Structure 1
Amino acid sequence: SCGPFEGNGLEDKYIRVEFQFRGSPHIHVFIWLKNAPKYDKNNPKSIEQCIEFIDKLISVNAKSTEFSEELINVQRHKHSHTCKKHVKNGIKCRFDIPYFPMRKTMILEPFSDDEKFTKKEREEISKNRQNVIEELGKISKDTDNSLTFEEFLEHVNINEEEYIKMIRSELKKAKVFLKRAPNEIRINAYNSMIMSLHRANMDIQFILDPYSCLMYCVDYINKSENGMSKLLREALNELKKGNSTVKERLRVIANKFLNSSEISAQEAVYHILSIPLSISSRSTVFINTNRPENRISMLKSDEILQKLEPDSNDVFVEGLIDMYTNIPDEMKNVCLTDFASLYNVSKKKADNAQITEF
């Protein structure tokens, strides 16, 4: 109950260290908490529980008495060339900052396909959005502004219902909007206890759906270095023209990878000291789903090969899929993924016969 997640113990985690530009490491973390509420847009109680959970663990409070102005400024986003992207009407921050001020924390859904707007309504929404964006641009430069949420709405000449409607009209999926005063529109979300211990920038979010979590993993956390994929493809194409062995090909690719990577002093320290760049509370099993003729197999040891009949083709170590095809009849209802993740295979000899146990 005294930890940063106030009684919600850690159930699972995935951590990835990334190095960028200046070379300093920053960490992407997924955590699954025990007894955390699950979002169900059709269940008002679920929505209420999620909002209560978010407000308990996440804050953007710029006037917190716990922290100095200097520490709060660490959380304040400053636009740079890395966050700017070109859009139809100019340049926009790819993190959608400044954020929208909100009277209270809300989880907003996009309008359904059945909810159509008239031309007049669309024009009104577009006008409101332009007014809001212009006002956000003005007040985002003044971190000392004392506007209330209600005064902000008066400045843009719309009521709260029209404001929420304007925000929802741009959404493609459900999104959390934190309670946020107009002077907090550039502050990244933080956890108070982690902030007091870590004393560095963070951005903490409540994940609403598994798909977003998956896409973040694939597109962002596990992204490869710029240009590296192209270099490796070129190396592979060159190797295909020759008669290199698998071992020689692997050596060429490894050298290409190592010699073409630019790393900072901090990243070099991580590698030299064998500090892990990723940590997971769950292990993974690789399943080679290539066609049989494209799968690479490992030769058995010389000792075993010497004992085989001269015309034997049984020269490769049995792989996961080979083991799966030989499972006993009582396991025929076990699928490949369950077999890979839930079963261990052990082989032992008894009375001059080899026994396989699952």
Structure 2
Amino acid sequence: MPLRGSSHSHMSISGEDILIYDGSQIDEETHEEIVKFCDKCIMTQFPLLDEDTELHNIVKEAQSHYRNHSKSCLKYHETLDRFEFPRSVARRTFICEPIEVDNDNDKQYTKKVNEIFTEMNATMNALEKEKMLSWSDFDTLPTKYNWNYEDYECVLRVVHTRTVIIHKREPNGRWVNQYNEEMLRVWKANMDIQFVLDTYASEKYLMSYTTKPEREKSLLFEGIHKEYREGNMSVREEMKKLTDTFFNHRQVSVQEAIYSMTKMSPTYSS
């Protein structure tokens, strides 16, 4: 996985006759076409070393999420990974539309299901420390709670509170980020490729990324204001210094600093 500040790209890709998800009211044909498109273009497999050595090594090094969650992973919750790893195991790709919770009974059921799902994940986490997970390892878990596979897919609709695509994923691929095989073989670096279900959310994410706040600059402003409060400068001097700081200081990563110092171009276009 890339280190924070590493050079990377965010982009939305479209094309002619592109499939559009328009909520749960889409017809069955469009639903199936979206699933076919995802199965064709998006992979989640962790190939065995003796099956495809090159792809195995790339997926292992570039596409596998850290099992010991980093501080960034747990940014919003002490135990829940904000990137939603490990990902759900599934025998097929499908659009997972959440079930609405309307009453107290539904809320109690949702709470119980979430507890069981968390327990299932914990069991698989413990098992994969000893061996590579297989379908037989996974199949024993739903039956423990008197679920069949169809029940398990319904549980996913309870666990996920927003519409997501559950990709066909084997038990040993729970920590693998989605990728396109042809692109990954050439790119040889991390990618997270997704079919856009919510155009607004996608564009909002891109905008929030490009306008990410710079905390270090705020600390500089705070230092200047502290000097003013202590009587070391006038209001006019403070405003002048704040303006100068705003236009001439910017928080950069180590990687970007190296780009600047070595006169390397940080952007390219064709």
Classify the TM-score, shorter chain: 0.7 to 0.9
Normalized per residue, which structure has more helix?
2
CA–CA separation in structure 2 for the residues paired with 1:46 and 1:235: 58
Shift of residue 103, structure 1, vs aligned partner: 0.9
Question: Which residue does the alignment assign to 1:42?
Answer: 25
List gaps (5 residues or longer) in structure 2: none
Give the aligned partner of residue 84 of structure 2: 96
User: Counterparts of 2:245 and 2:75 in 1: how far apart (Å)?
Assistant: 39
Tell me the residue number matched to 1:196.
185
Tell whether the 8 Å contact from 2:86 to 2:175 is kept in structure 1 after alignment.
yes
Residue 62 (str. 1) matches residue 46 (str. 2)? yes
The equivalent of 1:73 in structure 2 is 60
AA in 2 matched with 1:72: V
d(CA) in 2 for partners of 1:45 and 1:114? 29
The partner residue of 1:242 within 236, 239, 245 is 236
| Alignment pair present for 1:219 and 2:176 | no
- Of all paired residues, the percent bearing the same amino acid is 24
- 1:137 paired residue number: 125
The residue that corresponds to 1:169 in the other structure is 158
- TM-score normalised by structure 2 residue count: 0.76
Which sits farther off after the overlay, 215-224 or 191-200? Answer: 215-224
Relative distance call for 1:175 and 1:236 in structure 2 (3 A) is: farther
Q: Tell me how far 1:97 sits from its aligned partner.
A: 0.9
Q: Is the 8 A contact 2:73 2:81 kept in 1?
A: yes
8 Å CA contact 1:101–1:182 kept in 2: the answer is yes
Distance change in 2, residues 1:218/1:139 (3 Å): farther
Whole-Å Cα distance in 1 between the matches of residues 253 and 113 of structure 2? 47
Once the two structures are overlaid, the 10-residue window that deviates more, 159-168 or 194-203, is 159-168
Q: Distance in 2 between matches of 1:32 and 1:233?
A: 44
For residues 47 and 115 of structure 1, what CA distance do their matches in structure 2 show? 29
Structure 1 residue aligned with 2:265: 275
Q: Return the offset for 1:233.
A: 7.1
2:21–2:197 contact (8 Å) kept in structure 1 = yes
User: Residues 245, 228 of structure 1: CA spacing in aligned structure 2 closer, same or farther, 3 A cutoff?
Assistant: closer
- 1:95-134, aligned counterparts within 5 Å? 95-114=83-102, 117-118=105-106, 121-122=109-110, 124-134=112-122
- Please, what TM-score do these two structures have when normalized by structure 1? 0.60
- Normalized per residue, the structure richer in strand is 1
CA contact (8 A) 2:75 2:82 kept: no
1:139-186 superposed Cα distances (whole Å, 9 cap, x missing partner): 443562223554553456522232223222233321111100111101
Instruction: Write the mapping of 1:308-323 to structure 2, written as runs, cut at 5 A.
Output: none
Structure whose alpha-carbon radius of gyration is higher:
1
| Greater length-normalized contact order (CA 8 Å, ≥ 6 residues apart) | 2
User: Match of 1:176, SS?
Assistant: strand
CA contact (8 A) 1:128 1:166 kept: no
**Aligned residue pairs, count:** 255
* Whole-Å separation in 1 of the counterparts to 2:131 and 2:8: 26
| Equivalent pair of 1:139/1:145 in contact (CA under 8 Å) | yes
CA distance in 2, matches of 1:176, 1:240: 58
Deviates more, 1:217-226 or 1:207-216: 217-226
Q: Structure 1, unaligned stretches of length 5 or more?
A: 1-18, 282-358
In 2, are the aligned partners of 1:98 and 1:136 still within 8 Å (CA)? Answer: no
1:202–1:177: structure 2 CA closer, same or farther, 3 Å change rule? same
Q: Deviations over 1:301-344 (max 9, x none)?
A: xxxxxxxxxxxxxxxxxxxxxxxxxxxxxxxxxxxxxxxxxxxx
Structure 1's 142 and 196: CA in aligned 2 closer, same or farther, altered over 3 A?
A: farther
Shift of 1:196: 0.7
2-structure distance, mates of 1:243, 1:218: 34
1:140/1:117 CA distance change after superposition, 3 Å: farther
Indicate the RMSD between aligned Cα atoms, in angstroms. Answer: 3.5
**1:230-309 paired onto structure 2 within 5 Å:** 230-232=219-221, 241-242=235-236, 250-255=243-248, 257-258=249-250, 261=251, 263-264=253-254, 266-271=255-260, 273=263, 275-277=265-267
1:265-321: CA deviation from partner (whole Å, max 9, x where unpaired): x31343353624597x9xxxxxxxxxxxxxxxxxxxxxxxxxxxxxxxxxxxxxxxx
Alignment-derived partner of residue 9 in structure 2: 27
